[in-house]
Amino acid sequence: MSNEQAVLDAHYMARALELARKGLYTTHPNPRVGCVIVRDGQIVGEGWHERTGEPHAEPNALRAAGSKARGATVYVTLEPCSHHGRTPPCADALVTAGVARVVAGMQDPNPEVAGRGMQRLAQAGIEVRSGVLEAEARALNPGFLKRMEHGLPFVRVKLAMSLDGRTAMASGESQWITGPAARAAVQRLRAQASVVLTGADTVLADGARLTVRAAELGLDPDTTALAMSRPPLRVLIDGRLRVPLNAPFFKAGPALVITCVTAEKQFPRGPECLVVPGVEGQVDLRSALVALAARGVNEVLVEAGPSLAGAFAQQGLVDEYVIFVAGKFLGSAARPLLDWPLEKLADAPQLKITDLRAVGDDWRVTAIPVPAASV
Task: Please report, for residues 1, 37, 324, 336, 342, the alpha-carbon distance to residue 75 in angstroms, rounded to integers and kept in the order given.
Answer: 16, 6, 36, 47, 49
Does 121 show up as a binding residue in the annotation?
Answer: no
Among residues 92 and 339, whose Cβ is nearest to Zn ion? 92
Please give the Cα distance from 21 to 367 (Å, whole number): 22
Does 35 show up as a binding residue in the annotation?
Answer: no
8 Å CB contact between 75 and 103: yes
Among residues 31 and 278, whose Cβ is nearest to ligand LIKH6CAM? 31
**In this structure, is the dihedral angle defined by the CA atoms of residues 288, 289, 294 and 296, taken in order, positive or negative?**
positive
| Residues 35-74, interacting with Zn ion (CB under 5 A) | 56
Contacts of 245 (CB under 8 A, 6+ apart): 267, 270, 271
Instruction: Give me the least distance between CB of 54 and ligand LIKH6CAM, in Å please.
Output: 8
Beta bridge partners of 1: none
* Count of CB atoms situated within 10 Å of the CB of 295: 13
Does 209 show up as a binding residue in the annotation?
Answer: no
| Residues 45-74, interacting with ligand LIKH6CAM (CB under 6 A) | 49, 52, 56-58
**In this structure, is the dihedral angle defined by the CA atoms of residues 181, 211, 52 and 299, taken in order, positive or negative?**
positive
Task: Please report, for residues 2, 25, 214, 226, 227, the alpha-carbon distance to residue 222 in angstroms, rounded to integers and kept in the order given.
Answer: 40, 12, 11, 6, 9
Instruction: Give me the least distance between CB of 120 and ligand LIKH6CAM, in Å please.
Output: 12
Please give the Cα distance from 133 to 203 (Å, whole number): 42
78 binds ligand LIKH6CAM (CB under 6 A): yes
Give the one residue of 5, 21, 66, 86 binding ligand LIKH6CAM; rule: CB under 6 A: 86
Give the one residue of 81, 137, 235, 258 binding Zn ion; rule: CB under 5 A: 81
Identify the CA nearest to 318 among candidates 150, 157, 102: 157
Task: Please report, for residues 116, 197, 318, the alpha-carbon distance to residue 296 in angstroms, rounded to integers and kept in the order given.
Answer: 22, 15, 18
Does 332 show up as a binding residue in the annotation?
Answer: no
113 binds ligand LIKH6CAM (CB under 6 A): yes
Does 308 show up as a binding residue in the annotation?
Answer: yes
Beta bridge partners of 362: 359
Among residues 76 and 184, whose Cβ is nearest to ligand LIKH6CAM? 76
Report DSSP state, residue 202.
Answer: H
**Which of 50, 58, 79, 299 does the annotation list as catalytic?**
58
108 binds ligand LIKH6CAM (CB under 6 A): yes
Is 299 annotated in the active site?
A: no
Among residues 78 and 133, whose Cβ is nearest to Zn ion? 78
Among residues 106 and 182, whose Cβ is nearest to ligand LIKH6CAM? 106
Give the one residue of 81, 191, 289, 300 binding ligand LIKH6CAM; rule: CB under 6 A: 81
**Angle 116-123/90-97 helices, nearest 10 degrees?**
20
Binding site for ligand LIKH6CAM (CB under 6 A): 30-31, 33, 49, 52, 56-58, 76, 78-81, 85-87, 90, 108, 110, 113
Q: Hey, which residues are catalytic here?
A: 58
Binding residues: 56, 81, 90, 160, 174, 176, 190, 202, 206, 210, 213, 303, 305-311
Binding site for Zn ion (CB under 5 A): 56, 81, 90
Binding residues for substrate: 174, 190, 206, 210, 213, 303
